[in-house]
């Protein structure tokens, strides 16, 4: 595998020709990729975008021949430096992986083996690729690799285990592993999707500088258009296993030719947020064709509904009032000692009835702890929570049950929060059963009503969670939360795991439901772009404290705190002008 491979006549580093991938199922082979063609040259950064299920991750896996389950390459070729990897033997692939093609996986939480130390996992990469020999040299190389990936105190951390690392640090380890052998091509599959915007930016900057120094080609897979446009010269848009559009990034974003790309751009909240703002400020001067993007209109409509709501709610008693809320955890520092960690530090806020407050901040800022305290899943150390005029800290038994009835949660992971063994109808009816509402027949009617409310077909009641898409599952979770006709819904990262198109639909649904049912939302998220389209008020949390709280427009237009500005600047694609 030298650079001067005589068979490499095309001169491209990577050339994918008519690539087809099929998955064997009980009903025959299902095609996941249908004739993919693209090329990459040394030092080039190419981004593949598309929603989940579009085949972008499958393309990445096919290149290094690590297709999951029953997947196999059923046609075409993957020419890497002129050599067809689709026909390579197992040992040839083992030689190429790691050494010539590096890979940075999507989810830093599940991609490191929990039972081995970080050092062990980096060192085995170094040994497998023959980068160093001898215990001391391997160790030194491992430290070097981790330091390059941006882990400053690498030497101390070698003996630590993945669970002792934060998501960002784990992703740095994975990037270090991927780049350890200075491969000519690095495939990064959603390398930062699981991370906060600020961490995301630091990691991507770092990745860019590393690949630049070594002229490593970077194949970057993401569902975030803004991110792709900011980071890649070339953009490939995939839809249902096909490339629908490819070309220079800015050109595609400003003049999308394919309707799917147009929808994708319209739905991306990081870009849409600019539009809502301009719609409010200068109604006459909008350049884009509103009618061409359905989701865009909905978001504007949602924003208008919100303004009306806000006017009505002013002066009324707040639905939620939180005063001087503090939560201290004991964390173990080794041995039998422990020290106090203040997760929530003297937090106060009030949410007027029928409005939405967004609580934003990086992970670890305490925003989810606030949600847990509010829902009564954790006990506050001090401070009070007043819901609909009633203090909650001393509620027990029946009163607590009544409180839960008025306040329902929707959680982040639509895969994890539905019981796979219960069908959708039973899942939605469960809160009704627990609270003893109605009889069997009336509960069934209510389930049908709820399914209509969240725009799901009624037949879905008999299906099971694994038969549903992520967006449908999140709708089910919302329907379940609404079953008891609550006044307050706590949404903890409720749309963070969803694709842009689905995200836009869910946000629209939430806005509609709020207008219809006078709901009060506490919306917890790390994604400021989403905040712009859904929230009336924003509270920014940093290290357990609320550092800034104001109306959404104030926070976005005149952020007072540096931390808020950093969060805003870190929204990918915020500096790029979009054209639809």
Q: Give residues in contact with other proteins (CB under 8 A).
A: 64, 66, 68-69, 90-91, 94-99, 102-103, 105-107, 110-117, 124-125, 128-129, 161, 163, 174, 177-178, 180-181, 332, 336
Closest to 557 (Cα-Cα) out of 568, 571, 542, 543 = 568
340 versus 455: smaller Cβ distance to other proteins: 340
CB 509 within 8 A of CB 452: no
Query: Which is nearer to other proteins, 128 or 568 (by Cβ)?
Result: 128
DSSP state of 97: B
Closest approach of Cβ 112 to other proteins, in Å? Answer: 6
Distance CA 329, CA 509 (A): 36
In the DSSP assignment, the letter for residue 331 is E
User: Could you tell me the smallest distance in angstroms from the CB atom of residue 488 to other proteins?
Assistant: 35
* C-alpha–C-alpha distance, residues 451 and 226, integer Å: 33
Q: Which two tokens stand for residue 115?
A: 């039972």
CB of 496 to other proteins, least distance (A): 19
Min dist. Cβ of residue 25 to other proteins (A): 14
Closest approach of other proteins to the CB of residue 71, in Å: 12
Dist. CA 401–CA 405, nearest whole Å: 6
**Which CB, 60 or 344, lies closer to other proteins?**
60
Distances (CA, A) of 483 to 157, 350, 429, 449: 48, 25, 7, 9
CB of 110 to other proteins, least distance (A): 4
Tell me whether strands 101-104 and 185-189 are parallel, antiparallel or unpaired: parallel
Place of tokens 């992986």: 97
Q: Which is nearer to other proteins, 112 or 197 (CB)?
A: 112
Helix H segments across 70-192? 90-96, 118-128, 135-148, 154-157, 167-179
Q: Tell me if 375 sits within 8 A of 490, measured CB to CB.
A: yes
Query: What is the dihedral sign for C-alpha 248, 249, 254, 256?
Result: positive
Provide the minimum distance between the beta carbon of 107 and other proteins in the complex, in angstroms, as a whole number: 6
Phi, psi of 107 (to 5 degrees): -105, 105
Q: Smallest gap, in angstroms, from Cβ of residue 178 to other proteins?
A: 8
Strands (E), 474-527: 488-492, 520-525
- The residue (of 324 and 333) whose beta carbon lies closer to other proteins is 333
Nearer residue to other proteins within complex by CB, 116 or 341: 116
User: Which residue is it, tokens 């089910």?
Assistant: 476
Given the complex with other proteins, which of 110 and 442 has the nearer CB atom?
110
- Asked if 387 and 407 touch (Cβ cutoff 8 Å), the reply is yes
Residue with tokens 């430096």: 81
**Shortest separation between residue 332's beta carbon and other proteins, angstroms:** 6
Closer to other proteins by Cβ: residue 40 or 531 = 40
Estimate the crossing angle of helix 167-179 against helix 197-214, to 10 degrees. Answer: 10
Residue 338: CB minimum distance to other proteins, A: 8
Pick between residue 170 and residue 275 the one whose CB is nearest to other proteins: 170
CA atoms 168, 169, 175, 179: torsion sign: positive
Question: For residue 563, what are the contacts with CB-CB under 8 A and spacing of at least 6?
Answer: 540, 542, 547, 548
SS3 content of the chain, % helix, strand, coil (to 5): 40, 25, 35
Residue 408's H or E segment, with its range, is: strand 407-410
User: Which CB, 5 or 160, lies closer to other proteins?
Assistant: 160
Measured from the CB of residue 98, what is the shortest distance to other proteins in angstroms?
2
Identify which of residues 111 and 368 has a Cβ nearer to other proteins in the complex: 111
């Amino acid at each position: 595998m030298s650079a001067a491979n005589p068979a490499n006549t095309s001169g491209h580093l990577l050339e994918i020709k008519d690539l087809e991938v099929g998955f064997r199922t009980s009903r025959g082979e299902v095609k996941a990729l249908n004739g993919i063609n693209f090329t990459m040259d040394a030092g080039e950064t190419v981004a593949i975008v598309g929603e989940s299920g579009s085949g972008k991750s499958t393309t990445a896996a096919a290149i290094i021949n690590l297709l999951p389950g029953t997947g196999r390459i059923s046609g075409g070729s993957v020419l890497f430096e002129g050599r067809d990897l689709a026909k390579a033997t197992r040992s040839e692939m083992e030689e190429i992986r790691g050494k010539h093609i590096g890979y940075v996986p999507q989810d830093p939480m599940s991609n490191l083996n929990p039972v081995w130390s970080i050092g062990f996992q980096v060192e085995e990469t170094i040994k497998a690729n023959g980068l160093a020999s001898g215990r001391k040299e391997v160790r030194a190389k491992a430290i070097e690799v981790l330091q390059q990936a941006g882990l400053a105190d690498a030497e101390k951390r070698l003996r630590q285990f993945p669970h002792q690392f934060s998501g960002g640090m784990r992703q740095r380890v994975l990037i270090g592993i991927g780049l350890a052998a200075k491969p000519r091509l690095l495939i990064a599959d959603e390398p930062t999707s699981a991370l906060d915007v600020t961490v995301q930016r630091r990691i991507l900057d770092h990745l860019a500088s590393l690949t630049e120094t070594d002229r490593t080609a970077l194949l970057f897979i993401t569902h975030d258009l803004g991110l792709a446009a900011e980071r890649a010269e070339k953009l490939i848009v995939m839809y249902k296993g096909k490339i629908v559009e490819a070309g220079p990034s800015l050109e595609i974003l400003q003049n999308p030719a394919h309707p799917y790309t147009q929808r994708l751009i319209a739905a991306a909240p990081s870009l849409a947020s600019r539009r809502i703002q301009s719609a409010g400020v200068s109604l006459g001067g909008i350049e884009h064709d509103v009618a061409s993007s359905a989701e865009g209109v909905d978001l504007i409509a949602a924003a208008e509904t919100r303004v009306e709501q806000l006017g009505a709610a002013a002066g009324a008693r707040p639905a939620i009032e939180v005063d001087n809320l503090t939560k201290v955890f004991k964390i173990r520092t080794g041995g039998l000692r422990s020290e106090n960690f203040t997760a929530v530090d003297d937090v106060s806020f009030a949410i007027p009835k029928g409005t939405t407050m967004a609580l934003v901040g990086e992970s670890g800022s305490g925003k989810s702890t606030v949600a847990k305290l509010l829902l009564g899943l954790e006990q506050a150390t001090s401070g009070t929570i007043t819901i609909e005029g009633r203090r909650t800290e001393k509620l027990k038994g029946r009163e607590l049950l009544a409180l839960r009835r008025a306040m329902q949660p929707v959680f982040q992971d639509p895969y994890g929060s539905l019981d796979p063994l219960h069908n959708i109808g039973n899942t939605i009816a469960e809160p009704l059963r627990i609270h003893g509402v109605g009889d069997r027949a009336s509960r069934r009617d209510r389930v049908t009503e709820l399914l209509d409310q969240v725009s799901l077909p009624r037949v879905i009641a008999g299906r099971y969670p694994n038969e549903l898409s992520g967006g449908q599952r999140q709708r089910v979770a919302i329907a379940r939360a609404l079953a008891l006709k609550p006044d307050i819904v706590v949404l903890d990262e409720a749309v963070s795991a969803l694709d842009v198109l689905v995200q836009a639909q869910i946000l629209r649904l939430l806005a509609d439901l709020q207008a219809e049912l006078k709901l009060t939302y506490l919306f917890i998220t790390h994604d400021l772009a989403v905040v712009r389209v859904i929230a009336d008020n924003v509270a920014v949390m940093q290290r357990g404290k609320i550092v800034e709280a104001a109306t959404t427009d104030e926070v976005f237009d005149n952020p007072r705190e540096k931390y808020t500005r950093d969060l805003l600047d870190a929204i990918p694609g915020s500096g790029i002008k979009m054209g639809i």
